[in-house]
Every structure is written in C-alpha cells, then in structure tokens.
Amino acid sequence: MEITSGGVCAAKGFSASGIHCGVRKNKTKRDLALIYSEVPASAAAVYTKNLVKGAPLTVTKKHITDGVAQAVLCNSGNANTCNADGIEVAEKMCELLSENIAVKPSDVIVASTGVIGQRLDITPIAVGLPLLVSELGSSEESSVRAAEGIMTTDTVLKEIAVKFTVGGKECHIGGIAKGSGMIHPNMATMLVFITTDAAISPKMLKKALSADIQNTFNMVSVDGDTSTNDMVAILANGMAGNATISKEDEDFAEFMKALNTITVYLCRKIAGDGEGATKLLECSVTGAKEEEIAKTVAKSVICSSLFKAAMFGADANWGRVLCAIGYSGADVDVDRIDVSFESRAGRIDVCKNGAGIDFSEETAKEVLSEKEINVIIDLNSGDAAATAWGCDLTYDYVKINGDYRT
C-alpha cells in the first residue's frame, strides 16, 4: 500500500469539481461540490445519531437504501436543518443535478453544512449547477476544488488517497473531509466522502465502513458537540477490475487496511484543524481490561476542557488527565494508572501508579510545545487499547464561536 495523489479522483472513473455559487456571501469561498462516478457504484453511509437531523441526511438515507449511488452533491454555508421545507429543498438539489448530468435523482448522495435553522435558497444552486458539472475533472486539482467546496471554518484542506492491491489488481481509495467545529461524532461524523475503484458488494462496503468508524471518526472530538449533519459516505465503482469482494476474506482485509489508512489520516487532519486549534492531541490508552474501557478513557481525556486548555498552555497538568479518567464512567483501578506525554521533542513520565512522580518542568514544557502531542495512558490491567484524537482549547475557539452567524 502506498500514498498517492488525486484525493477522491485517484480511483478510476471518478471526477470532481467545486465552485462558488452564492450560498455563502464570501465570493472567494467555494460553496458547492460534486463527486461523480462514470458508472453506478456500491454505496454505504453512516449518519449522526443526533435526533435533530439535517434534511439532506434523510434524503440520502432513502436514496442509498438499495446500496447504489453515482454522485455526491454538497453545499457549504447552510446546513439545511430545522427548516420547514428542508426535505423538499434537498430533493430538489438531486433533481436539478439529474437535469445536468447522467444520474438518477435517487442515485445522488446529498449533503449540506453550515448554519442551522436558516432556509436554504435553492436559486444559487440551480444557477450554479451547469458550471459545476462542466468543470468536472479527474485531476488532483479537481479533488482539491471539491474539498474546498465543503469547508466551513476549516483552515486546511483535508484530502488523501492510497494505492493498494486486491486479488492482483491495483486499486485506489481516496477521501475528502470537512471538520472544524461541532465535532464529536456519534456513529457517524462530520462530512467525509470516500471513493474507491475496488469492486465490493454494497453489503460488505457497509460492513467495512461501520466497523472502521468505531475506531476512527467516533474517536474524534473537537468540542463535544455532536452535529446534526454528520455523514461519512463511500462510493465503490469496481473499475479496478478485481473480483468483487463479497465476504470476509483476505481481499476484504486488504480493503479494510486501505480504508483505515484513509480514515485515520482524515481523523488526525480533522482533530488538528479543530476550530481555533494550535495542537493535535492524540490520547493512546493501553492496558485496559476491555476495548470499551480504553475507548471511554481515551475519549474522556480528549474531551476535557481543562486538559485541552492545559495543552494550549503547554502545562503538564497531569492531574486533569487523572480527573478525566476518574469521571469517565469506565471501570479502572486508579492506583495502577501511569501517564506520560510524548512529542517530537521527546517523552516524559509524569504519573506512576496513580500518583505524581518528580519530573523536569523544563523538559515537560519542551515536549508540550510541539504541534502534535500524545498523552499515553497505561491502565496496567489488561491487553485492550484505543486511541482518540482531539485538539487544544484556545482563545480562537471562543472567538470563532462567539459570533459565527453574523
């Protein structure tokens, strides 16, 4: 397996585009993105568990009941959520796309991200669609434009692709994502669109995605707020020519490995580009009795406002790590917990058997002044492990969210 270029266009038969159509006022920001497969593809998606759900999710869910889709259409700047006419507008988006390119409305995955509770005006989208379709391309640049089209307060582009082999055939898988704020996925997440030319049945594709997100997107948190519009969707058009993956065999394992490479990369990108973030925080928990315990502990630490603020200040305040483990609800033996901090600058042990140990504050400051920090927790009670990703809590998070709408 190796990293390659092209993002969602790396896989054969996929093209993409992104334009500014006018949903967002700022004309320098793209706000409409399209991903298209030459042929209908196996499709799977997972969605937010928030009871308040964006209208596009309801429409998408209906459209991929048959496990097939051919295009992804997504706007930024407006979430099309909590609007009386939301479903109608989301369906209209699919119909309008169908009028501009060879795709059935029921084969469109539709998504929206942005402000909740403001009506989404279909006009700029209707006007923009011909341009969006005419700009479809399969170059690296095309994937970049689509990735830009789904960004809101994101500051960096989130895109990746890898090459891998299934049954002797070269396959590709690539993805784009938007994250930033309201990031605390439950079951699904943020907006992530993944394309692959591997041949895989809809059933196995769904299985692969559902299994993967438990240890990837569901382990990311920027601010503890589970969005109303989270969605991860994957299209597999089979154009790599491998024998279709239809059971849990070696080929499926290869596919899972490639998928996981994409999703872990995007998780780290999303966490590191959390609203206002200056640092990517990774929490690695080992020595748990059960995986669920390791996950609960890792996520509790990564979600603690106090821990996040301490990391912003490069303050080795490990007491807050212990505190967050203690209130997580996980069954742990406090007196066995070891804690260390690690970064490119080195590693420092700060807590052994649940109590503080002497350490150099100077070294700790150096370790914690890097851009990527790993807090390493050993529960010393078993063999299960888990990793969670988050970011520091900064002045800019407050600034961005103190006045997001206006």
Q: Which residues belong to the active site?
A: 189
Q: 3-class secondary structure for 29-66? A: CCCEEEEEEEEEEEEEEEECCCCCCCHHHHHHHHHCCC
User: What is the torsional sign of CA 89, 58, 45, 80?
Assistant: positive
Q: Please state, in angstroms and rounded to a whole number, the distance separating the CA atoms of residues 406 and 391.
A: 25
**Distance of closest approach, residue 217 Cβ to its own copies, in angstroms:** 15
Q: Which of 103, 283, 322, 379 binds its own copies (CB under 8 A)?
A: 322
Q: Which is nearer to its own copies, 30 or 308 (CB)?
A: 308
Mask of contacts with its own copies, 213-232, x by CB under 8 A? ----------xxxxxx----
Record the tokens describing residue 275, joined without a space: 């609203």
Cα–Cα separations (whole angstroms), residue 205 to 97, 198, 355:
25, 10, 46
Q: What is the DSSP string of 132-198?
A: HHHT-B-SHHHHHHHHHHT-SS--S-EEEEEEEEETTEEEEEEEEEE-SSS---SSS-SEEEEEE-S
Binding to its own copies by residue 371, rule CB under 8 A?
no
320 secondary structure, DSSP code: H
Binding-residue total with its own copies (CB under 8 A): 65
Contacts of 173 (CB under 8 A, 6+ apart): 10, 11, 161, 162, 164, 194, 195, 196, 198, 255, 258, 259, 262
Q: Does 55 bind its own copies (CB under 8 A)?
A: no
Question: Taking CB under 8 A as the criterion, which residues in 83-122 touch its own copies?
Answer: 83-84, 115-119
Taking the complex as a whole, the smallest distance from the CB of residue 394 to its own copies amounts, in Å, to 6
Cα–Cα distance for residue pair 212/207, rounded to 1 Å: 8
Our CB check for its own copies shows the closer of 43 and 350 to be 350
With CB under 8 A as the contact rule, which of the stretches 155-163, 244-252, 257-265, 311-319 interacts with its own copies? 311-319
Q: Of 234-293, which residues contact its own copies (CB under 8 A)?
A: none
Contact with its own copies (CB under 8 A) among 11, 302, 303, 377: 303
Q: Does 378 bind its own copies (CB under 8 A)?
A: no
User: Which of residues 2, 25, 27, 402 is near its own copies by CB under 8 A?
Assistant: 402
Q: Where are the beta strands (DSSP E) in 253-293?
A: 280-288
As a whole number of angstroms, the distance between CA 169 and CA 251 comes to 11
- CB of 1 or CB of 355, closer to its own copies: 355
Of 20-28, 36-44, 243-251, 305-313, the segment contacting its own copies by CB under 8 A is 305-313
Nearer to its own copies, 108 or 116 (CB): 116
- N-to-C CA span, the chain: 45
Binding test (CB under 8 A) with its own copies, winner from 26, 28, 65, 406: 406
Least distance CB 148 / its own copies (angstroms): 24
Answer yes or no whether residue 5 interacts with its own copies by CB under 8 A: no
Q: Report CA dihedral (332, 335, 336, 339) to the nearest 10 degrees.
A: 90
Could you say whether residue 356 binds its own copies (CB under 8 A)? yes
Question: Interface residues with its own copies (CB under 8 A)?
Answer: 48-53, 79, 81-84, 115-119, 181-182, 184, 186, 223-228, 303-306, 309-310, 312-313, 315, 317-320, 322-327, 332, 334, 351, 354-356, 361, 393-395, 397-406
